[in-house]
Structure 1
């Protein structure tokens, strides 16, 4: 069965479960278990993110305990292969309160940046750098064949990023967490970074020459985070809605509502200076992929 056929099968299965509820538990369980199988080396047999995302939603509908059982081999393999390596590259952020978005009177402003609103973030951990080809190939061998191991993994959809993170025992950061990390305790458009010094911290239109660069080859911000600005756009967990800020929860906000598009943050090697601002909200369809979109992972403390 081709990837597109398998994806269509699990999408239809997930749609049926959403519309009609769970029936034929044993049959569903066996079909889902197949999606999360691994080979003798612990590599997932299915690595298409959208297929896995639909399979996960079906497993979750069977109940939390059943979901854990059905994905156990897949998740265990991921954590054994990559968990410790990722853990060593996480930065622990204590959380706190900050003003998210762009205040009135500030310019420029892109769609969805207002109103600025007070947000409280609980402690979390976040990758010091975006996920690299070296790490992503442990999940999907041969990904971007020939591309440098230290380059950010790109050409990944939001589904791919989400399911890689779950395979490894982590998750994507929320956009509030991403902005908190980018601001690094400061109120400036680029957090604690002087805009005049941005070329020292980011690969973007002014210095990248239109190319990706290995991670951590620019300075880190005061939170120890590299490549938050420029190099690659980074998928976040949230569904994109331009009006979400008007009714965003104050504590640990996450827009998990329905919608076709997901948030990405930070700019890329092609981005203009303004697009690298902490508050700039970019968005693309969840099944979209491009050579300037990657991701980093996060975890609760």
Structure 2
């Protein structure tokens, strides 16, 4: 329960959460040597982006309000691990070199860090070349 302070009096706010058990589409990309990249389906849809100009708290960068349609796609279930990065970094180079072990905080199950946007682009391009599927960074 969240209890914000309003006019020097505490007013409880109650949230009701409805839980539903569902199944998601997914697949595992085998990177070799027992290294798996788990991917889950993100359904597409249409939503209203931005806020009406007359809405309280509206900011200029929230308009004009407009409909946006997102196509379905697959996304990694977890952040890329150091083991996954190393597996892809050891694939043939396409546009630039990749350091197979750039992270400061070591551990094969730890997320990769200390990489640039351009490193991630190369990672996706190598993964695409290896798997025959289209991998890319969020746009």
Q: When the two structures are superposed, what TM-score results if normalisation uses the length of structure 2?
A: 0.52
Match of 2:109 among 141, 144, 150: 150
Question: Which residue of the partner structure matches residue 117 of structure 1?
Answer: 66
Q: CA RMSD in A?
A: 2.9
Once the two structures are TM-superposed, the CA of residue 92 in structure 1 deviates from its matched residue by 0.9
Secondary structure at the counterpart of residue 67 of structure 2: strand
Give the structure with the higher percent helix.
1
Question: Which residue of the partner structure matches residue 51 of structure 2?
Answer: 103
Runs of 5+ unmatched residues, structure 2: 1-28, 90-98, 129-134
Match of 2:36 among 59, 82, 85: 85
Once the two structures are TM-superposed, the CA of residue 106 in structure 1 deviates from its matched residue by 5.5
Question: Which residue of the partner structure matches residue 122 of structure 2?
Answer: 163
Distance in 2 separating the partners of 1:147 and 1:93? 30
Distance in 1 separating the partners of 2:45 and 2:63? 20
Matched positions, count: 91
Secondary structure at the counterpart of residue 85 of structure 1: strand
Give the structure with the higher percent strand.
2
Q: Deviations over 1:237-273 (max 9, x none)?
A: xxxxxxxxxxxxxxxxxxxxxxxxxxxxxxxxxxxxx
Once the two structures are TM-superposed, the CA of residue 165 in structure 1 deviates from its matched residue by 1.0
2:138 maps to 1:173: yes
Question: Which residue of the partner structure matches residue 11 of structure 2?
Answer: none
Q: Deviations over 1:194-219 (max 9, x none)?
A: xxxxxxxxxxxxxxxxxxxxxxxxxx
1:46-61 matched pairs, under 5 angstroms: none
Once the two structures are TM-superposed, the CA of residue 127 in structure 1 deviates from its matched residue by 1.1
Q: Deviations over 1:110-148 (max 9, x none)?
A: x84433321112221111122122211221322215523
Distance in 1 separating the partners of 2:113 and 2:58? 28
Larger RCO (CA within 8 A; separation ≥ 6): 1
Distance in 1 separating the partners of 2:105 and 2:126? 24
Secondary structure at the counterpart of residue 119 of structure 2: helix
Question: Is the contact between residue 137 and residue 143 of structure 1 (CA under 8 Å) also seen in structure 2?
Answer: no
Q: Which has the larger radius of gyration?
A: 2
2:85 maps to 1:126: no
Distance in 2 separating the partners of 1:153 and 1:113? 33
Runs of 5+ unmatched residues, structure 1: 1-78, 175-301
